[in-house]
Amino acid sequence: METWRRVIADSITTPEELAECLDIGPGPLAPLVRRYPLRITRRYLGLIEKPGDPIWRQCVPDPLELLDDQFPDPLDEERLSPVPGLIHRYPDRAVWLVSNECAVYCRFCMRKRRVGCPLAGGGEGFWDDVLHYIKETSAIRDVILSGGDPLLLGDEHLESILAGLRAIPHVEIIRIGTRTPVTLPERITARLCRMLKRYHPLYVNTHFNHPREITPEAIKACARLADAGIPLGNQTVLLAGVNDDPAVMTHLMQQLLAIRVRPYYIHQMDLVQGTGHFRTNVETGLEIIGALRGHTSGMATPYYVIDAPGGKGKIPLLPDAVEKWGDTWLLRSFRGEIVEYRDR
Ligand code: SF4
């Protein structure tokens, strides 16, 4: 068995195991784990220094998850899905959800409704339908493999997807979104990198949320990908109690650049059911961007974006270019519509 598969097999998935590791009672964890699955690799769990710290908050279930009444699918991904597993929101880009599995089930996940569940419509016919749709839609020039985590697929499976996409002439760019460099760095093997190299132009966007996630193993994983000629970007989610602090975020962005990972987005938390305790207000994000701009390299300054509810797309926010009326932000979508947005 490959090392990374052994790490997954050895990860923590039950309330009893987690309770034992953290020296807490398993009782409150059980209903949470029945609703939203649990998985934490032992390496990631080992980054916790004390209860409630930024690593703990990201991976340990919190009873507040069950008290939150927001939307299961605020970005309307199901409506924007022409075939199962594909989201086609912007004309020239499509997101292919190739896996529902992840090395760690992040408690703040925007796809909390589906990660850890069986892949809807999985199987060969499903991949064929997606590839057929992309082939027939010549406007799609950029395909993003997402999930779950695409790198939880084995090399052969992943390669068959990449080869299928590369056989479509109008697909110019392939992107992979993965948190494995952070949560399962063992997955970034030399063999995987040799395979990925055959499918350029290929980009990887990873997902570091806190400077303590930049471990020696994560650095090595990113270096392997970068040495395979793969440009690396990072998407961070702005999370209360994790990184909602200009000093923490500045440190994270500077350290990412130092390991050849270009900060790409800071996401305002989506209005996803079960994640309200992570949401900051928009002013916090604007304060962080204000602290980054002009105080550190422009290359270390990502876009701060809100993914507008109702499938209206990502909207970048700058401190001096947004308006607030009462408790409502007025934002302009990529289609030019004015979108009203409220912190809930
Ligand atoms: S790795 Fe990504 S998709 Fe998986 S649970 Fe975390 S945020 Fe969600």
145-197 confidence digits (pLDDT tens): 998 999 999 999 999 999 999 999 999 999 999 999 999 999 999 999 999 99
Can you name the residues that pair with 234 across neighbouring β-strands?
206, 263
Is 293 one of the annotated active-site residues of the chain?
no
**Whole-number pLDDT of residue 118:** 74
255-275 confidence digits (pLDDT tens): 999 999 999 999 999 888 999
Write out the two tokens for 172: 């110019």
Domain locations in the chain as residue ranges: 70-317
Write the single-letter amino acid at 148: G
Is 212 one of the annotated active-site residues of the chain?
no
**CB half-sphere exposure, 254, CA atoms < 13 A:** 12
Q: How far is the CA of 269 from the centre of ligand 1 (A)?
A: 13
Q: Which of 66, 27, 44 is nearest to 210 (CA)?
A: 44
Q: What is the DSSP string of 274-295?
A: T-GGGPPPHHHHHHHHHHHTTT
Name the band, by pLDDT with cuts 50, 70 and 90, for residue 344.
low
Sign of CA dihedral 179, 69, 304, 333: positive
DSSP secondary structure code for residue 10 in this structure: T
Do residues 300 and 253 lie in contact, with contact meaning Cβ atoms separated by under 8 Å?
A: yes
118-152 confidence digits (pLDDT tens): 776 555 557 899 999 999 999 999 999 998 999 99
What is Dmax (Cα atoms) for the chain? Answer: 58
Paired sense of beta strands 93-97 and 86-87, if any: antiparallel
From atom 3 of ligand 1, which residue's Cα is the shortest distance away?
A: 148
**Whole-number pLDDT of residue 123:** 55
Is pTM beyond 0.85? Reply is yes
Q: How far is the CA of 148 from the centre of ligand 1 (A)?
A: 6
Q: How far is CA 43 from CA 55, 96, 104, 313, 329, in A?
A: 11, 29, 10, 35, 40
Q: Is the pLDDT of residue 12 over 70?
A: yes
For ligand 1, pick from 108, 109, 207 the residue to mutate: most ligand atoms within 8 Å of CB. 109
Do residues 110 and 147 lie in contact, with contact meaning Cβ atoms separated by under 8 Å?
A: no
The active-site residue out of 113, 166, 212, 314 is 314
Is 90 one of the annotated active-site residues of the chain?
yes
Q: How far is the CA of 149 from the centre of ligand 1 (A)?
A: 7
58-101 confidence digits (pLDDT tens): 999 999 999 877 777 777 777 888 998 999 988 899 999 999 99
* Fold of the domain spanning 70-317: TIM Barrel (3.20.20)
From atom 8 of ligand 1, which residue's Cα is the shortest distance away?
A: 109
